[in-house]
Structure 1
């Protein structure tokens, strides 16, 4: 006698759960920031002492596609200031530029991978490589041919 209401309740719960799942999947997500930090050290013309004695800053959770310049990270940097070192401690790659505002080509066509460091180059700007967008069509599978 109680089997019909229980089955009906179960069916309603499954339908509600499926609808909630579809809503969660359908909500678009914003572009994520890189997880981790980029550590930079300020270089000044004519001051090439020990790297530890130079001002350091962390760019926390840098935004994908954003160009970080010396003046943005070190607002009080002297004229001719540059990033003396750049350490990529994020989960994504970055490009380093010897031009201001990420102009022109990056220093290297291959982006600097996570865990890498650049020391000694006069880097004027850095840019986080945006994560690739995944196209659901790329993951469709087709059944094997009937044989």
Structure 2
């Protein structure tokens, strides 16, 4: 799917879900900063309180896909959708099973950064998530980018 099509779907999601309690992360976020050449999907993170409402709204917009239990991902809310070949994943209450037990990531909607009328998560939050998800290539890629950025941009 082309970047313009993914951006169009993202813009439609702003209309569908409203401007609060969710943000876009993953490969689309990385592409927005020029870190990744092409987004593969849309990863949405939302508050646990709004998860069921957003899941219902997305279910009217796109086809709900079956999800099987992951060996280590234990998010309190997770749903996957298909919109014309684009996979949209909605996550809330993100938790990962580690040796020490469950480790959680707390989504803070007030940290959302609006760019080109789209709600984007902070890169530092995705660095934390990629570490939690044990994605070493993404961690290294993001750390390189953040280390090269001027300090003022890193701490928005």
* Same fold by TM-score greater than 0.5: no
TM-score, structure 1 normalization: 0.21
Q: Rg larger in 1 or in 2? A: 1
Normalised TM-score (structure 2): 0.20
